[in-house]
Structure 1
Amino acid sequence: MKRKAGLLTMIFVCCCATAFSAEMIVPDKTPTAHVILLHGMGRSCRSMSKMAGYLADSGYAVVNLDYPSTGADIETLSLGVVAEAVETCRSKNPEAPIHFVTHSLGGILVRHYLQNHSLPPGSRVVMLSPPNRGSEIADLLKEFFLYRWVMGPAGQQLGTSADALPIRLEPVDVPVGIITGGRSLEPWFSIRMPGPDDGKVSVASARLPEMADFLVVHRSHGFIMNGPEVIEQTIHFLRHGKFRKEG
């Protein structure tokens, strides 16, 4: 998959509730569906740029969001940033599916949004390394001032206790494919997590009971979205509702 020279990067748009910007990439041909990209905590839309390019090459109208992941709680980000992005896509084509591809915290934002909202028929979600059952690292660090200062309100909500927000969310009514990493570059965190992990999220924590498919790849948390096999499998799930299985 090579990026086409005809990609058009449109002007930034802003949400009235929670400030964000979005790189919108429109393919040369009529798009088959919208795809909204949500980066992880402390990252920016640049971390999802490679994924965005390949999705546009595959015929999707891509909205690569840049939002203040450490500046607000999950509820505010979900009902501000995510809701506004969905409405922007609906205004372009109300009948087209609206897919999501998320990294880490982004998956929790989509789950929260879907508690009281729906997506058009045919919509799907791919989550990359999501802390769906919370994060043991958040449990370890949440009382430290530096962590609270750097990660902000959302970082306090990602624990594993029964009252933590990810644990309290109900199943979502949309096909979800989850790709998580089994390679850690941060052994000092991995010793705090049960079983295999990607340095930030354990494989067990990434799972959801309602997920349509699940895949573990040899990638670490921070750059899983750039893996060629991850990009290929993401596009395959958006098209078919399942990952491509070798053999």
Structure 2
Amino acid sequence: MRRVAQIHFVPAALVQGREVGTGVAVRVQAHQERAVLRRFAQPARVVAECSTVTVPGDDKTAVTPTDELVVLVHGLAAGPSWMRPLARFLERQGYRTHCWRYASLAGSLQVHAPRLRQVLRDCMARARRVHVVAHSMGSIVTRLALAGESWPELGRVVLLAPPNHGSPVARLLAPFAGRLCPAVAELSSHPASLVHRMNPPRGVEVGTIRARYDLLVPGSSTMLDGQQDHIGFHATHTSLLLQRSVARQVHAFLATGRFHRPAAD
């Protein structure tokens, strides 16, 4: 067991386990993300906002054999619970799901990627087709896990608010938070950061989703060379995970390789 510093960041759109209205979620979450920027703008405040917690190893939950399975990958300072609303929606559409747990605040992205690669291989031994849905930093971990190998059994990949070209906020925090969390520096929008040295995925159908009120990852950073489709929502960085309309579009891409757009009149 390892002990690392964890930044507490609770989804504002979850109130007593229920979803709140989209408009409320957007306003509350936007306020919360601005608060994060204020709190972490000063190096001295970083330690004050962190606490020491015990981090378990990778989630070893057995994956049930099925035709199609979706692996969901959470982002920085989050956990599987952030992905479960989306997972439950996909289960109602007939998919099996596996919310992968990893210690996002501990270690480099290049440490997490091989672990996810092994999870995907294990899932492919139990399912005819495996898809991936990833949020924020989880998108970059996913890209690293898929890089340099052929994945004939892989289905489609949906990246929600992916910092494909880095995050200006990560660049701001990197000089002093990078020692606590190496991934922060790797996600920086600085031209020399890891995200700018990655090749676009090859032979994989990828759809990207941006949040129009995202204060952490600009819309332009979500774009990816070779992406199959791209769509935006009136949401914040984290409220994307709680909106039913987003879940429907994730399902549409997994099923067809395209996001659904109503036909023009």
What TM-score, normalized by structure 1, do the two folds share?
A: 0.79
Give the one of 211, 214, 217 matched to 2:233.
217
Give the one of 210, 213, 217 matched to 1:180.
210
Which residue type is aligned with residue 58 of structure 2?
F
Aligned residues: 207
Q: Is the 8 A contact 2:223 2:230 kept in 1?
A: yes
CA separation of 1:75 and 1:41: change in aligned 2, threshold 3 A: same
Question: Partner of 2:50 in structure 1?
Answer: none
Structure 1: runs of 5+ lacking an equivalent: 1-17, 184-197
Q: Quote the offset at 1:119 in angstroms.
A: 2.3
Question: Partner of 2:215 in structure 1?
Answer: 199
Question: Partner of 2:93 in structure 1?
Answer: 58
Structure 2: runs of 5+ lacking an equivalent: 1-55
Q: Is the 8 A contact 1:78 1:113 kept in 2?
A: yes
CA separation of 1:22 and 1:230: change in aligned 2, threshold 3 A: farther
Whole-Å separation in 2 of the counterparts to 1:142 and 1:107: 19
Give the one of 85, 88, 94 matched to 2:119.
85
Q: Is the 8 A contact 2:117 2:146 kept in 1?
A: no
Whole-Å separation in 1 of the counterparts to 2:146 and 2:160: 17
Give the one of 217, 241, 255 matched to 1:239.
255
Question: Partner of 2:199 in structure 1?
Answer: 170
Q: Is the 8 A contact 1:124 1:176 kept in 2?
A: yes
Q: Is the 8 A contact 2:63 2:123 kept in 1?
A: no
> RCO greater where, 1 or 2, for CA within 8 Å and sep 6 or more?
2
Question: Partner of 1:154 in structure 2?
Answer: 183
Question: Partner of 2:23 in structure 1?
Answer: none
Cα-Cα RMSD: 1.8
Q: Is the 8 A contact 1:41 1:104 kept in 2?
A: yes
C-alpha deviations, 1:17-68, integer Å up to 9, x for none?
x921166675xxx843111100010000000011111111212121101110
Q: Is the 8 A contact 1:107 1:130 kept in 2?
A: yes
Which residue type is aligned with residue 100 of structure 1?
V
SS of the residue corresponding to residue 241 of structure 2 reads: helix
Question: Partner of 2:81 in structure 1?
Answer: 46
Question: Partner of 1:133 in structure 2?
Answer: 165
Q: Is the 8 A contact 1:182 1:217 kept in 2?
A: yes
Q: Quote the offset at 1:85 in angstroms.
A: 1.1
SS of the residue corresponding to residue 21 of structure 1 reads: coil
Whole-Å separation in 2 of the counterparts to 1:106 and 1:120: 22
Percent sequence identity is: 28
Q: Quote the offset at 1:246 in angstroms.
A: 2.5
Consecutive aligned runs of 4 or more in structure 1 exceeding 6 Å deviation: none
Whole-Å separation in 2 of the counterparts to 1:201 and 1:210: 20
Whole-Å separation in 2 of the counterparts to 1:22 and 1:79: 15
Give the one of 112, 125, 139 matched to 2:144.
112
Whole-Å separation in 2 of the counterparts to 1:121 and 1:25: 16
Which residue type is aligned with residue 207 of structure 1?
M
